[in-house]
Amino acid sequence: MAGGTTDPKRFQASKATLLMDAFMTHFIKVGGALVIVTVFGIFVFILSQIVPLFRGARVHEKTSVPTPPGDYAVMGADEWTELPFLLRGDGTFVFVDIAAGGAASEERPAPLGEKTVTAIGYRPQQGSVTFGTADGGFVVGKVKYTGDFSSGQRRVRHSFDWIPFQETALPGVPVTEIASGETDSAKLIATVQQSQEGQTHLSVSRVERKKSLIGSGQWKVANAYDLSAFLTAPPRKILVTSSADAVIALLENGDVEYFFLTSGGFELRQKFRPFGDVGDGRVASMDFLLGDVSLVFTSPQGNNRVFSLFPKPGETVRTFGQTKEFPPLSAGAAFFSQSLRNKSFLLGAGRRASLRHGTTEVIRWETDLPFDVRMAVLGGKYESMLFLDNRDRLHVYGLEDPHPETSLPGLFGRIWYEGATEPKYEWQSTGGSDEFEPKLSLVPLLVGTLKGTLYAMIFAVPIALLAALYTSQFLHPDYRGVIKPTMEIMASLPSVVLGFLAALWLAPLIETRVPSILAVSILLPAGAYFFGWLWSGLPVNLRRRVAPGCEFLAFLPLLVLLVWAGWTLGPVLEQWFFYVTDPVSGEKVADFRRWWPHATGTNFEQRNSLVVGFMMGFAVIPIIFTITEDALSNVPATLRSGSLALGASRWQTALHIVLPTASAGIFSALMIGLGRAVGETMIVVMATGNTPLTEWNIFSGMRTLSANIAVELPEAPHHGTLYRSLFLGAMVLFVLTFFVNTLAEILRQHLREKYKTV
């Protein structure tokens, strides 16, 4: 070849190029595989953190020790289940040292002296023991445990704290039933006494002591109340709340009477039959759950129900109502023990023992033991169980149930929580007292995630798609070269900055100008449509004076005018339509913030979903706009030219040719924007009340899954229930986005094949 070379080697790639090509090929393959392995590893790690949430309780026998024989009435345990006690009917304590193989020591309270004990009450939550005597008196005290290291090893020691002997309202009449509750300054002791005439008396004594700067005085009976007139049958069992303000009496005929202490004395606040629809309606057992807000009942047939205090519709005070129904036992409960750490309780009859949770209505563990059970106690740390069999042998069982509050119903179902008027979805991970029951439903967080995403996409999608369509198909190239980079820069704005602006500037602004927002939202699209219709009707000679792609310059003045008009018209609309009648003055007050709750029955909050929709939409618009504009601009020019050549207008070409051809890319832009909105954290945390709600009210706040993880994970105990529940929220978010992305990819491929997009 003239002026050239015929050397064939000039068409061959160098060895360095081939080596680099081979290296990059394998490097990309390995990188892709590592990405897949990493994603799978993250999935496995999250799964490993949430699996324990769905495990039931694990129970295993640790040891058993003999105990001295006796007619035991009560069994209690220390926090570590190392020195439990058995209480005989005569008032003698028998402490059993588990570590020493069951070595026992006996002790009788000094205040009892030679008195005959006829009734015993025990409150494990407070560690208090109450004795009723044959001469119509009572003795109240506490069993205290401490750790002792004097011998070089930790040993558990016990001590007592008794108050002097007190007389009931009927001295000399034997006490047959007794119960107590106490606060720091008062003790409430309820007693049942049977007189020689056969009359049953229910009396309540309030024991108080005065405190001064030099110390505390002696405990003395300050008030006595006689509730006998309210009884319709003899009481079988009585309970007193730990707040020392209420007495519950279970009567022989199956009725339960609830007395509450007011400033004027006790009032019979409620009378009900827990098993009025079962057999003869009688009750086999009645006991408190932790917190004394719920009562656990069993019937002689084995039915198990929970009644809790909550205000009924139209009532202002709380009364008991059924909230739970558990699978029945074979018979009424012969033993019962409440957990001191959560709402679990242990009950059973014969050899059957069942561990149940009073909030989630789930059986955590249930089995037939190899012995008949006389009494049972749950350890103070909810890590052990004690069973006393009929042969006076004490069996110690280990308990592993770190997450009793969680189950599928508890995490995703409606739960009737204590104090609530109905079952509902609720997330509230912490409370102000030990009796608080964690509420860990993920449904409000899932609703909040979908709610925030919905309002953000409603705001962002029309603006982003129409802006991208106009920019790519109609805008002059000079302006396009400025607008597109500007939109891409907007996508880089930090979320925390947007959240800051939403919370401190946008939310207070929108709070008082909602009617103005509504007016602008109506006038702006209507004005744009009217301008387009008017522009298309102008003579061609006039339209030619504006360069193609610069028509928006003629619309800008009208745009500013419409925004100003809508913003100014808002207060006028508020005066005309959004007013309420002031209940005090009777005058009409124009205030959208008061009108909305009155008209819809829902709340109006300053930081609400409308604010999140605007600001999160502002964060999503640049992403959708950029990808959509690229997809529309990459449609082959031959398709547009052919459409225009056949007589179609620019709008017809854009709507019927360009948009369908670029639909796969547009759909990808929407899915990426959706993912951005679903995973947004800082804007939601700062721009809403961050309250988990299950309502779609646009003027209320919300909490999303991602925001919940960011807010609560730093405070969650490692491997605790809240910690694992947050990981479950992450898994739900992971599965949700995976499902949406998979569905989006399937639809994108379908659109790509339909319109033959490459």
User: Could you tell me if 249 and 316 lie in one domain?
Assistant: no
**Phi/psi of residue 664, nearest 5 degrees:** -65, -45
117: confidence class by pLDDT, cuts 50, 70, 90? very high
758: confidence class by pLDDT, cuts 50, 70, 90? very low
- Burial of 148 by CB count in 10 Å (0-12 exposed, 13-18 middle, 19+ buried)? exposed
The pTM assigned to this predicted structure is 0.85
**Per-residue confidence (pLDDT) for residue 757, from 0 to 100:** 47
Last residue of a domain, one of 226, 247, 272: 272
646 has pLDDT over 80:
yes
214: confidence class by pLDDT, cuts 50, 70, 90? low
**Per-residue confidence (pLDDT) for residue 579, from 0 to 100:** 85
Last residue of a domain, one of 355, 388, 408: 408
More confident residue, 299 or 220: 299
Cα 440–chain centre separation: 3
What are the strands of the beta sheet with 235-240, ordered from one edge?
Answer: 235-240, 246-251, 256-262, 265-272
Owning domain of residue 132 = 109-147+154-272
pLDDT tens, residue by residue, 578-624: 888 877 777 888 889 889 998 888 888 888 889 988 899 888 999 99
| Per-chain mean pLDDT for the chain | 88
Residue 179: strand, helix, or coil: strand
Q: Which residues contact 229 (CB under 8 A, 6 or more apart)?
A: none
Is residue 90 included in any domain, yes or no?
no
Last residue of a domain, one of 408, 443, 467: 408
Cα 418–chain centre separation: 14
User: Could you tell me if 522 and 551 lie in one domain?
Assistant: yes
Instruction: Please report, for the domain that includes residue 549, its CATH number.
Output: 1.10.3720.10
Tell me the torsion sign for CA atoms 320, 325, 331, 335. Answer: negative
**Dihedral angle of Cα 454, 458, 459, 462, to the nearest 10 degrees:** 150
**Per-residue confidence (pLDDT) for residue 428, from 0 to 100:** 87
What tokens were used for 47? Answer: 């799964």
User: Could you tell me if 470 and 617 lie in one domain?
Assistant: yes
Half-sphere exposure of 7 (CA within 13 A, CB side): 6
User: Could you tell me if 492 and 575 lie in one domain?
Assistant: yes
pLDDT tens, residue by residue, 671-723: 888 888 888 888 888 888 788 888 888 898 889 999 999 889 888 888 889 99
Question: Residues 740, 62: contact at Cβ < 8 Å?
Answer: no
Integer angstrom CA distances of residue 614 from 363, 501, 621: 46, 11, 10
Instruction: Please report, for the domain that includes residue 231, its CATH number.
Output: 2.130.10.10
**Percent of the chain residues topping a pLDDT of 90:** 45
pLDDT tens, residue by residue, 492-516: 888 888 888 888 898 898 888 899 9
User: Could you tell me if 383 and 460 lie in one domain?
Assistant: no
Question: Residues 188, 181: contact at Cβ < 8 Å?
Answer: yes
Residue 417: strand, helix, or coil: coil
Helix or strand holding residue 566 (H, E): helix 552-577
Half-sphere exposure of 618 (CA within 13 A, CB side): 16
Count CB atoms within 10 A of the CB of residue 568.
11
pLDDT, mean of residues 463-486: 88
**Per-residue confidence (pLDDT) for residue 215, from 0 to 100:** 65
Half-sphere exposure of 48 (CA within 13 A, CB side): 6
Is residue 601 included in any domain, yes or no?
yes
- Burial of 494 by CB count in 10 Å (0-12 exposed, 13-18 middle, 19+ buried)? exposed
CA distance 73 to 84: 14
Per 3-state DSSP, what percentage of the chain is helix, strand, and coil (rounded to 5)?
Answer: 40, 25, 35
Smallest CA-to-CA distance from 156 within 65, 83, 63 is with: 83
**Per-residue confidence (pLDDT) for residue 8, from 0 to 100:** 66
User: Could you tell me if 189 and 289 lie in one domain?
Assistant: no
Tell me which amino acid residue 756 is: K
Among all chains, which residue has been given the structure tokens 């898994």?
A: 731
390 has pLDDT over 60:
yes
Is residue 113 included in any domain, yes or no?
yes
Is residue 81 included in any domain, yes or no?
no
User: Could you tell me if 613 and 465 lie in one domain?
Assistant: yes
Is residue 26 included in any domain, yes or no?
no
**Per-residue confidence (pLDDT) for residue 750, from 0 to 100:** 78
pLDDT tens, residue by residue, 393-441: 999 999 999 999 988 888 998 999 998 899 999 998 876 555 577 889 9
CA distance 132 to 125: 20
User: Could you tell me if 387 and 467 lie in one domain?
Assistant: no
Question: Residues 257, 231: contact at Cβ < 8 Å?
Answer: yes
DSSP 8-state symbol, 750: H
Cα 79–chain centre separation: 29
User: Could you tell me if 347 and 463 lie in one domain?
Assistant: no
User: Could you tell me if 554 and 658 lie in one domain?
Assistant: yes
What tokens were used for 610? Answer: 């409308």
**Phi/psi of residue 644, nearest 5 degrees:** -65, -35
2 has pLDDT over 60:
no
Q: Which residues contact 47 (CB under 8 A, 6 or more apart)?
A: 731
pLDDT tens, residue by residue, 40-90: 898 899 999 999 999 989 999 999 999 999 899 999 999 889 999 999 999
Is residue 46 included in any domain, yes or no?
no
What tokens were used for 479? Answer: 């302006």
Q: Which residues contact 574 (CB under 8 A, 6 or more apart)?
A: 515, 590, 591, 592
Question: Residues 108, 136: contact at Cβ < 8 Å?
Answer: no
Domain count, the chain: 3
User: Could you tell me if 603 and 499 lie in one domain?
Assistant: yes
The contacts found for 88-94 with CB under 8 angstroms, 24 or more apart, are 89/117, 89/120, 90/116, 90/117, 91/117, 91/120, 91/131, 93/143, 94/67, 94/68, 94/70
Residue 4: strand, helix, or coil: coil
pLDDT tens, residue by residue, 353-369: 999 999 999 999 999 99
Lowest-confidence pick of 123-132, 200-209, 532-541: 532-541
Is residue 1 included in any domain, yes or no?
no
Is residue 423 included in any domain, yes or no?
no
User: Could you tell me if 617 and 650 lie in one domain?
Assistant: yes
CA distance 570 to 679: 34
